[in-house]
C-alpha cells in the first residue's frame, strides 16, 4: 500500500475468544465502534459447519472486520476483501497487515462493486454486511451473482437491516439450488445463511450485467451534448447539478482546442465532466480519479461510448487526491470539492493539486459555495495559485485557480 492513511482511531473486536484491534478512518462506515450487524453476523458463524480451509470473500469489506475475524480464527482460509470505496480497501489491507501479518499472503484486495471472480470450484464462504441504502432490486441481483459464484455446499452468510430481509429471503427461495439454513431476526438486523447445493459455478460482473443501470438519458451543456446510461447510487441521473453545470461552463471557455494536451477529472460522479472533457479535447490524454469504483466504471463506459478517440486512464484513490508520483502533468484539472470538507483537508487539496497542474495551468474547482469560498480565501494567500472569477448558482460555485510559475 503506497499511500499513507489518515487514521482516526482504533476499534476493538472480541470474537471466539480472540481480541482484534483495527484502525479506522473518519469517513468510513462504523468508525466509532464495530457495528451491531457485524457482531450479530459473527455470532451466527460460531456454530456453522465449514471445512478447515477454503476460499472466502468479505463483500463490502469496509475496514475488514468480518474477513479479518474469520481469518484470525480460521487461518486455513484465504480471503478476498472487496469494496466499492478505495479508502475502505486500503484500510482493510492495512488492518490485515496489523492484525494477521502471518496471513497477509492469504489475503487479496479488490476495489469493485461486485463479488470477485471465483476459483474453478467456487467460493466456500461469502460474508456480506449488506448496505442499508441499497435498493431491493439491486440487492436481489447482487445476491444472485454471489450465489452463482459459490462452491457446492458453499455458504453465503449475510446481515441486513430488517426492512430489506424479505427481499433476500424471496431471492434465495427463487434461486435454483439455494436453501436458507438460518433466519434470525434481531431488533434492527436479520442474519441469513444460504447454502448452495449445486456444483455449477458461474461468474458474472454485476456492473456489466446492468444491475445498477437506469434508463438512458441525454444531457447538454452549451453546444455540447452527450448520452449516458445513469446508474443507481450516483447522482445526476436525470439532470446536471448546479455545481457540474458551472464547472462545465468554465471548461468550455477553453474552447475545443485551447492548447490542452492533458487533463484530469477528480471525483467524476456519473461521469458528465469527464465526458465533456473528452468531447472538448478529443486528442488530449485524460486521467480520471475517484475513491468510488462505481463512478469509475460508469465514467469509463460513458467515455468509451461518447469519446472513442480519447485516451483515458482511470485510477482509484484512497485519499483526497493522493500523491502525484507517476501521474500526468496536466494543463487543466477539474476537481470536485467535497461537502463539509475540513479546512486542513482543503489546504491539502490545494497543495497536492499544485504538484500535478503545470505552471500556467488551471484547476477548475467546484462544489458548495461555502467550500469554494473557503478555498478562494486559502488560495488567495497561497503563493502557488492565482484565483479566477468565481461563479455561483443556488448554493453551488465553481472557481478556476491558475497555477503560478515558480520562477
Q: What three-state secondary structure class fits 36?
A: helix
Residue 201 inside a domain? The answer is no
Q: Decide: 1 and 321 in contact? Cβ < 8 Å.
A: no
Closest CA to 56 of 36, 73, 33, 40: 73
pLDDT for the residue numbered 327: 62
Look up residue 149 and give its three cell numbers: 459464484
Relative to beta strand 391-393, strand 396-403 is antiparallel
Do 324 and 238 fall into the same domain?
yes
Secondary structure class of 189 (helix, strand, coil): strand
Task: Tell me: pLDDT of 11 over 70.
Answer: yes
Whether residue 335 sits in one domain with residue 239: yes
| pLDDT of 134 | 82
pLDDT in tens, 355-385: 889 999 999 999 999 999 999 999 888 789 9
Q: Is 326 left (phi over 0), alpha (psi -120 to 50) or beta?
A: left
> Residue 46 pLDDT > 50, yes or no?
yes
* Residue pLDDT, tens place only, 156-182: 999 999 999 999 999 999 999 999 999
pTM for the whole thing?
0.94
Which of 135, 161, 196 marks a domain boundary? 196
Question: What is d(CA 291, CA 91) in angstroms, rounded to the nearest whole number?
Answer: 13
> Please, are residues 160 and 168 in contact by the beta-carbon 8 Å criterion?
yes
Query: What pLDDT, on the 0 to 100 scale, is given for residue 247?
Result: 98
Q: Is the pLDDT of residue 257 over 60?
A: no
Looking at residue 32, its pLDDT comes to 65
Task: Judge if 180 and 49 occupy the same domain.
Answer: yes
- Gap between the Cα atoms of 1 and 229, Å rounded: 33
| DSSP assignment string, 137-194 | HHHHHHHHHHHHTEEEEEEEEEEEEHHHHHHHHHHHHTSTTEEEEEEEE-SSEEEEEE
**Number of structural domains the chain divides into:** 2
pLDDT of residue 1: 43
Does residue 204 belong to any structural domain of this protein? no
Q: Is residue 171 domain-shared with residue 290, that is, in the same domain?
A: no
Q: Is 375 exposed, middle or buried (0-12, 13-18, 19+ CB in 10 A)?
A: buried
Q: Which residue reads 472466502 in cell numbers? A: 56
Q: Tell me if 202 is assigned to some domain.
A: no
- Determine the 3-state secondary structure of 137 from DSSP: helix
315-347 pLDDT, tens digit each: 998 776 655 545 668 999 999 999 989 898 899
First to last CA, the chain: 35
Shortest CA distance to 336 belongs to which of 282, 402, 271, 278? Answer: 271
Residues 313 and 391 in one domain: yes
- Segment 274-303 shows an average pLDDT of 96
Q: What percent of the chain has pLDDT over 90?
A: 80
Q: Return the pLDDT at 28.
A: 76
Domain boundary among 196, 227, 260: 196
Distance, in Å, from the CA atom of 81 to the CA atom of 125, rounded to the nearest integer, reads: 12
Per-residue pLDDT band at 265 (split at 50, 70, 90): very high
DSSP 231: B
Choice among 10-19, 206-215, 230-239 with the minimum mean pLDDT: 10-19
- Band of the pLDDT at 407, cuts 50, 70, 90? low
Judged against a pLDDT cut of 90, whether residue 259 lies above it is answered with no
Task: Share the mean pLDDT of the chain.
Answer: 92
Domain that holds residue 62: 9-196
pLDDT of residue 321: 67
What pLDDT, on the 0 to 100 scale, is given for residue 322? 59
Amino acid at each position: 500500500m503506497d499511500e499513507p492513511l489518515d487514521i482516526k482511531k482504533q476499534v476493538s473486536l472480541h470474537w471466539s475468544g480472540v481480541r482484534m484491534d483495527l484502525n479506522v478512518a473518519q469517513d468510513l462506515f462504523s468508525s466509532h465502534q464495530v457495528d451491531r450487524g457485524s457482531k450479530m453476523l459473527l455470532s451466527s458463524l460460531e456454530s456453522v459447519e465449514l471445512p478447515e480451509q477454503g476460499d472466502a470473500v468479505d463483500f463490502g469489506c469496509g475496514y475488514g472486520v468480518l474477513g479479518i475475524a474469520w481469518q484470525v480464527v480460521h487461518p486455513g482460509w484465504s480471503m478476498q476483501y472487496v469494496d466499492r470505496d478505495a479508502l475502505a480497501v486500503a484500510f482493510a489491507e492495512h488492518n490485515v497487515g496489523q492484525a494477521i501479518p502471518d496471513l497477509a499472503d492469504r489475503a487479496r484486495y479488490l476495489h469493485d462493486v461486485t463479488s470477485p471472480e471465483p476459483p474453478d470450484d467456487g467460493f466456500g464462504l461469502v460474508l456480506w454486511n449488506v448496505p442499508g441504502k441499497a435498493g431491493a432490486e439491486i440487492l436481489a441481483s447482487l445476491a444472485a451473482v454471489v450465489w452463482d459464484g459459490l462452491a457446492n455446499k458453499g455458504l453465503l452468510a449475510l446481515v441486513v437491516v430488517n426492512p430489506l430481509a424479505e427481499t433476500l429471503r424471496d431471492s434465495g427461495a427463487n434461486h435454483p439450488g439455494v436453501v436458507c439454513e438460518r433466519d434470525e431476526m434481531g431488533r434492527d438486523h436479520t442474519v441469513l445463511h444460504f447454502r448452495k447445493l449445486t456444483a455449477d459455478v458461474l461468474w458474472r460482473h454485476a456492473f456489466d450485467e446492468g444491475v445498477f443501470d437506469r434508463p438512458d438519458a441525454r444531457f447538454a451543456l452549451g453546444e455540447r451534448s452527450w448520452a449516458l446510461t445513469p446508474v443507481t447510487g450516483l447522482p445526476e441521473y436525470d439532470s446536471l447539478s448546479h455545481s457540474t453545470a458551472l464547472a462545465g461552463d468554465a471548461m468550455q471557455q477553453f474552447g475545443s482546442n485551447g492548447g490542452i494536451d492533458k487533463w484530469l477529472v477528480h471525483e467524476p460522479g456519473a461521469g458528465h465532466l469527464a465526458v465533456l472533457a473528452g468531447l472538448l479535447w478529443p486528442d488530449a490524454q485524460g486521467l480520471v480519479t475517484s475513491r468510488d469504483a462505481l463512478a469509475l466504471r460508469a465514467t469509463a463506459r460513458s467515455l468509451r461510448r461518447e469519446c472513442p478517440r480519447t485516451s483515458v486512464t482511470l485510477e482509484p484513490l484512497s485519499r483526497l487526491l493522493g500523491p502525484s508520483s507517476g501521474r500526468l502533468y496536466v494543463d487543466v484539472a477539474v476537481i470536485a470539492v467535497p461537502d463539509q470538507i475540513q479546512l486542513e483537508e482543503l489546504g491539502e487539496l490545494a497543495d497536492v493539486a499544485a504538484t500535478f497542474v503545470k505552471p500556467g495551468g488551471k484547476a477548475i474547482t467546484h462544489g458548495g459555495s461555502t467550500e469554494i469560498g473557503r478555498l478562494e480565501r486559502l488560495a488567495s494567500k497561497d503563493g502557488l495559485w492565482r484565483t479566477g472569477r468565481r461563479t455561483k448558482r443556488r448554493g453551488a460555485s465553481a472557481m478556476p485557480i491558475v497555477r503560478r510559475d515558480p520562477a
